[in-house]
Chain A
Amino acid sequence: MNDANLTLTLAPAAEAPRPLALTPAQDLRGYLGAHLGRALLFFITFTSVLAVLLILVFVVVRSVGFLSQSSLTEFIASQSWRPTAEEPVFGALAIIAGSLYVSFAALVFAVPLGILAAVFLSDIISWKVRNVVKPLVEILAAIPSVAYGFFAVVVLAPWMQNQFGFSTGTNALNAALILAIMALPTIISVSEDSISALGRELREASYSCGATRLETIVRAVIPAAHSGIIAAAVLGMMRAIGETMVVWMASGNAPQIPHPWWDLAQSVRTLTATIAGEMGETPEASLHRGALFAMGVLLLLMTFGMNVISEYFLTRAKKASGRT
């Protein structure tokens, strides 16, 4: 390179500088482009909200007929579900209880295991090992629910029947175990996020006071991350209560409240399984179909509620970890 060449190449002034002021036409075009484009993008993005609204409207509208003709108290207080009898009775209490029952049972298995695994991932192993273990959890989450259901019915149910002498292999225990496996990835990843988001300072402070790892985690880390862990549990519950195929296939589908209450070996039935199982056989515009849509509304309300709770705790967890 030489100087002659350099001066040759640096000749910007030769070109007339373009005007900085917009002409009115350019101004109008830019204004319209920006606003119309933005509006278009906004409407496309708004599809998600629209979808939520449509879901709400259409599921509610279909259930209105049932809710106006049948008594709501019967729906949520009666245990007798006889939709196809001469005089149909639509008492969903046992079914609602069944939904909550298997979901809570699943949480009882999944939450402790999930927290332990989250601690393991965030505090105990190195980054490299973590990168190997994480995909495992993701694979667990990726397996389709119908495959879990298949496993529950074809493999787990006969095994439990033979091994423990249950009267039926498709029961609340079976469904709860599988739901626990399905809720685990959610619980692990959400609580791991909140635990590792706390940063090193907290742990260093605890270690410097002479605490062991156990004490640090149990007395400093987990209390500090409790919001995130609660959110994880709620999200796990949401996953479990909304799950259809597994409970339909594995829970036995008997609309009853287990008695005694801790007897997991009895069959139960859930809201999702009832909708899935009976919708196909209901005539259009029948009370029965309305009742199933009412169950859908109930499910929606439950998940909306849990969504709000988890959002609340997640925001709190974010604030606690000092991120915005």
Chain B
Amino acid sequence: MNLSVRGKLDRVFTAATGLSVVLLTLVLVAILGPMVYRGSSAVFFQGTVEFRKMQRNLFGRGDEQLLHAEVAETEEFRRQVYDMIDGFKKGVDVEAMSEQAREIHRQFGQELRDKNLPADQYTKLRELTRQIRDKLDSAFHSQDIDEIQRMVAEVLKNADNPQLKDTSAEKLFAIARQFLQAARQIDLSKHHEYAAALREVEGILFHSETLPGLLGPRPGEPAAPLVMLRYGATRWDQAQALLDRFLWVQEWVEEKPGHPLVMKRRVRAESFPPSLRPLFAYVEQNAGKMLRPQRTVYWQFLIDDNVNSHYFGGIGPEILGTMLITVIGMLFVIPLGIISAAYLVECSSDGWTMRIIRMGINTLAGVPSIVFGLFGLAFFVLFLFPLLGFEPKPCILAASMTLAVLTLPVMIRASEEAIRAVPPSYKEGSLALGASRFHTFLAVTFPAALPGILTGVILSLSRIAGETAPILFTGAVSLGAVPHSVFAPTRTLSYGSYDMAVGDRLAMMVPHNQYGMVVALMMLILILNAAAILLRSRVFKKLRGQ
């Protein structure tokens, strides 16, 4: 082969190897970067007045007086929205108006009965209002403006009837006038469409059956059973997403038959008559004043319990559960691992026992994590617990012990490496001074190996904290109380991350909490690993005598 070709090939190869590492780095950045960025928004974000309301009511944080003042200020701006919608509703929501008319009629009947009128007079008045009501009802449902005008005029003829003066029946006339005024401005044929569109808008602004809205429920409305429906957008990014949904309608349209659907956006204001259109401009311009976003550091995310499956609140119990499982697991792993490693190094021989032990450790390291889950369920939960008189239920203790078995090889290998790395001259020096092997290990070898062993401890910690599969059946739950004993199951960061990734739709609506959970887990583990790497490099430097 030509020399220059060989040279070029060589360079290409070198570049390819370099590229592979660059690719690796890119993958790492692509995974970590966006996740960490989005996860950190669980703690750092622009919180709205609704957030502060929620914090005050659910967690008792913040100054009540200040909050009241703030709420009052925002209410001023919100009032306009309420008025605009109410005004429009009077012309459009015919079902509501019919219902209202009927209600007034009933109320009027009650009033008449209370007055103890003679029977014939009572019947007459009742008959009159019933006619008025029916006429109004048919006017509401009519789509012809002339007919409506005629019918409303007929109704209003009775407005001067002295017997109806100062009674609740007067309200009927008010409704009739308002309706006529509104009906003149809108396209009556679109009654139902308007009503439906208005309901949607109300859902976005206040709240729907299942989803919270931009501003939260209107003042005076009875509290919704779901806590999350009692507050508007607590975060400015959430508010902007809702605002976007408020201003634009998204539709999937089939442009040509047979082609995939295409998403189209159109201005929502266009689906309403001009009388309501100012509402959209008003909300868009005054959203900031109605919600008052403020830079917020919600560090309590790390200690708060969640509300309504992670819609509000934080990941406190998950962190606590992870820590509990990890710490209890380490109680088993650390002594077992160090003693095993010490035995392997100090009492090593090439006998068959040693080979079996090594094989056991290697095999254990290769067992799939889910099989540890099966083992934990079959051995600890269903066999050992009944044997010891405990309830055979998944719990923290079972999860910790399962994870301890899982991480034992990590601990043994790291400690063994650390103990082996201690120069044999230390050991010889100590033995030559008449120390026993046991004393030599405790006084010389162990302290010298300690940084390396600590590295192993940290790596085991991070392994235990991050594993999910083994605790699926042995102690993790997605919902439940904060555990009070080691015989209770617990929520953990790892299982919580799984649950929020594939769980209900609700989690998708709070990506900050979704990402926040998984990023908390990753940060915990990355910090532990970084500590291990630093510790190890320092140990290496020390051993090389720098």
Indicate whether A and B are direct neighbours in the complex (CB within 8 Å). Answer: yes
Residues of A within 8 A of B (CB): 37-38, 41-42, 44-52, 54-55, 58-59, 61-62, 113, 116-117, 119-121, 124, 131, 133, 135-140, 142-151, 153-155, 165, 181, 184, 212-215, 217-218, 238, 241-245, 249, 272, 275-276, 279-280, 284, 292-293, 296, 299-300, 303-304, 306-307, 311
Check A139–B340 contact: CB distance below 8 A.
Answer: no
> Is B467 interfacial (CB 8 A cutoff)?
yes
For the complex, give the distance between the alpha carbons of A136 and B408 in Å. Answer: 24
**Chain A residue contacts of B377, Cβ below 8 A:** 279
Known pairs A52-B367, A245-B498, A296-B371 / 6 extra A-B pairs, C-beta < 8 Å: A48-B357, A139-B526, A143-B31, A146-B521, A249-B498, A249-B501
**Chain A residue contacts of B340, Cβ below 8 A:** 44-45, 47-48
- Evaluate whether A244 and B369 lie within 8 angstroms (CB atoms) in the complex, with A45-B357, A143-B522, A149-B498 already known: yes
Check B469–A144 contact: CB distance below 8 A.
Answer: no
**Chain B residue contacts of A184, Cβ below 8 A:** 24
Check A51–B366 contact: CB distance below 8 A.
Answer: no
For the complex, give the distance between the alpha carbons of A144 and B403 in Å. Answer: 14
List the 6 closest A-B pairs by CB distance, nearest first.
A242-B368, A144-B466, A49-B360, A120-B17, A116-B20, A244-B469
Check B533–A46 contact: CB distance below 8 A.
Answer: no
> Is B44 interfacial (CB 8 A cutoff)?
no
- Evaluate whether A142 and B462 lie within 8 angstroms (CB atoms) in the complex, with A44-B340, A153-B502 already known: yes
Q: How far is the CB of A255 from chain B (nearest CB, A)?
A: 17
Check B369–A242 contact: CB distance below 8 A.
Answer: yes
> Is B131 interfacial (CB 8 A cutoff)?
no
**Chain A residue contacts of B522, Cβ below 8 A:** 143-144, 147
Give the residue of B17, B32, B468, B500 whose beta carbon is less than 8 angstroms from that of A117.
Answer: B17
**Chain B residue contacts of A62, Cβ below 8 A:** 374, 378
Contact segment of B7-15, B58-66, B75-83: B7-15
For the complex, give the distance between the alpha carbons of A47 and B373 in Å. Answer: 18
> Is B282 interfacial (CB 8 A cutoff)?
no
**Chain A residue contacts of B17, Cβ below 8 A:** 116-117, 119-120, 124
Check A140–B28 contact: CB distance below 8 A.
Answer: yes
A-B contact count (CB 8 A): 246
In the complex, 22 of the A-B residue pairs with CB atoms within 8 angstroms, ordered by the A residue number, are: A42-B343, A49-B357, A55-B371, A61-B378, A116-B20, A120-B18, A142-B466, A144-B465, A145-B469, A149-B498, A150-B498, A213-B13, A214-B14, A217-B13, A241-B368, A244-B368, A244-B369, A245-B468, A272-B368, A300-B371, A303-B367, A307-B366
Considering only residues 370-409 of chain B, those with a C-beta below 8 Å from chain A are: 370-375, 377-379, 382-383, 405, 408-409
**Chain A residue contacts of B469, Cβ below 8 A:** 145, 244-245, 272, 276
Contact with A along B517-529 (1 / 0, CB 8 A): 0100110011001
> Is B362 interfacial (CB 8 A cutoff)?
yes
- Evaluate whether A213 and B367 lie within 8 angstroms (CB atoms) in the complex, with A140-B28, A244-B468 already known: no
Check B498–A44 contact: CB distance below 8 A.
Answer: no
Check A48–B361 contact: CB distance below 8 A.
Answer: yes
For the complex, give the distance between the alpha carbons of A300 and B340 in Å. Answer: 24
> Considering residues A38, A119, A131, A147, which has the most beta carbons from chain B within 10 angstroms of its beta carbon?
A147
Q: How many residues of B contact A (CB 8 A)?
A: 86
For the complex, give the distance between the alpha carbons of A293 and B377 in Å. Answer: 11
- Evaluate whether A144 and B31 lie within 8 angstroms (CB atoms) in the complex, with A150-B497, A276-B469 already known: no
Check B364–A51 contact: CB distance below 8 A.
Answer: yes
> Is B537 interfacial (CB 8 A cutoff)?
yes
Check A212–B6 contact: CB distance below 8 A.
Answer: yes
For the complex, give the distance between the alpha carbons of A140 and B24 in Å. Answer: 9
Check B368–A124 contact: CB distance below 8 A.
Answer: no
B346 closest partner in A (C-beta): A41
Give the residue of A44, A50, A214 whose beta carbon is less than 8 angstroms from that of B339.
Answer: A44
Check B10–A213 contact: CB distance below 8 A.
Answer: yes
**Chain B residue contacts of A293, Cβ below 8 A:** 374, 378
**Chain B residue contacts of A47, Cβ below 8 A:** 336, 340, 408
> Is B438 interfacial (CB 8 A cutoff)?
yes
Q: How far is the CB of A283 from chain B (nearest CB, A)?
A: 13
- Evaluate whether A311 and B357 lie within 8 angstroms (CB atoms) in the complex, with A47-B408, A244-B469 already known: no
The DSSP consensus for interface residues of chain B is: helix
For the complex, give the distance between the alpha carbons of A215 and B500 in Å. Answer: 50
- Evaluate whether A46 and B370 lie within 8 angstroms (CB atoms) in the complex, with A137-B24, A143-B525 already known: no
> Considering residues A45, A54, A155, A275, which has the most beta carbons from chain B within 10 angstroms of its beta carbon?
A45
For the complex, give the distance between the alpha carbons of A165 and B259 in Å. Answer: 13
Check B371–A136 contact: CB distance below 8 A.
Answer: no
Check A48–B360 contact: CB distance below 8 A.
Answer: yes
Residues of B within 8 A of A (CB): 6-7, 9-10, 12-14, 16-21, 23-25, 27-28, 31-32, 34-35, 260, 335-336, 339-340, 342-344, 347, 353, 356-357, 359-364, 366-375, 377-379, 382-383, 405, 408-409, 412, 438, 462, 465-469, 472-473, 494-495, 497-498, 500-502, 511, 514-515, 518, 521-522, 525-526, 529, 533, 537
B375 closest partner in A (C-beta): A55
**Chain B residue contacts of A121, Cβ below 8 A:** 21
Check A146–B466 contact: CB distance below 8 A.
Answer: yes
**Chain B residue contacts of A46, Cβ below 8 A:** 357, 360
Give the residue of A49, A55, A136 whose beta carbon is less than 8 angstroms from that of B372.
Answer: A55
Check A146–B6 contact: CB distance below 8 A.
Answer: no
A38 closest partner in B (C-beta): B347
For the complex, give the distance between the alpha carbons of A128 and B502 in Å. Answer: 42
- Evaluate whether A45 and B339 lie within 8 angstroms (CB atoms) in the complex, with A276-B469, A279-B473 already known: yes
Q: How far is the CB of A184 from chain B (nearest CB, A)?
A: 7
**Chain B residue contacts of A244, Cβ below 8 A:** 368-370, 373, 468-469
B465 closest partner in A (C-beta): A144
**Chain B residue contacts of A165, Cβ below 8 A:** 260
For the complex, give the distance between the alpha carbons of A61 and B362 in Å. Answer: 23
Check B502–A311 contact: CB distance below 8 A.
Answer: no
Check A146–B383 contact: CB distance below 8 A.
Answer: no
Check A59–B374 contact: CB distance below 8 A.
Answer: yes
For the complex, give the distance between the alpha carbons of A280 and B23 in Å. Answer: 39
A30 closest partner in B (C-beta): B436
B12 closest partner in A (C-beta): A214
For the complex, give the distance between the alpha carbons of A59 and B402 in Å. Answer: 14
Check A181–B9 contact: CB distance below 8 A.
Answer: no
For the complex, give the distance between the alpha carbons of A286 and B326 in Å. Answer: 32
Give the residue of B360, B372, B379, B497 whose beta carbon is less than 8 angstroms from that of A146.
Answer: B497
> Considering residues A58, A249, A311, which has the most beta carbons from chain B within 10 angstroms of its beta carbon?
A58
Give the residue of A44, A51, A142, A275 whose beta carbon is less than 8 angstroms from that of B370.
Answer: A275
- Evaluate whether A45 and B343 lie within 8 angstroms (CB atoms) in the complex, with A55-B367, A117-B21 already known: yes
Check B514–A54 contact: CB distance below 8 A.
Answer: no
For the complex, give the distance between the alpha carbons of A137 and B529 in Å. Answer: 12
Give the residue of B347, B362, B375, B521 whose beta carbon is less than 8 angstroms from that of A54.
Answer: B375
**Chain A residue contacts of B495, Cβ below 8 A:** 146
Give the residue of A49, A58, A218, A303 whose beta carbon is less than 8 angstroms from that of B375.
Answer: A58
Check A144–B525 contact: CB distance below 8 A.
Answer: yes
> Considering residues B367, B468, B529, which has the most beta carbons from chain A within 10 angstroms of its beta carbon?
B367
**Chain B residue contacts of A139, Cβ below 8 A:** 28, 526, 529
Check A146–B370 contact: CB distance below 8 A.
Answer: no
**Chain B residue contacts of A37, Cβ below 8 A:** 438
**Chain B residue contacts of A218, Cβ below 8 A:** 13
**Chain B residue contacts of A59, Cβ below 8 A:** 371, 374-375, 378
**Chain B residue contacts of A181, Cβ below 8 A:** 27, 31
**Chain A residue contacts of B20, Cβ below 8 A:** 113, 116-117, 120
For the complex, give the distance between the alpha carbons of A45 and B438 in Å. Answer: 16
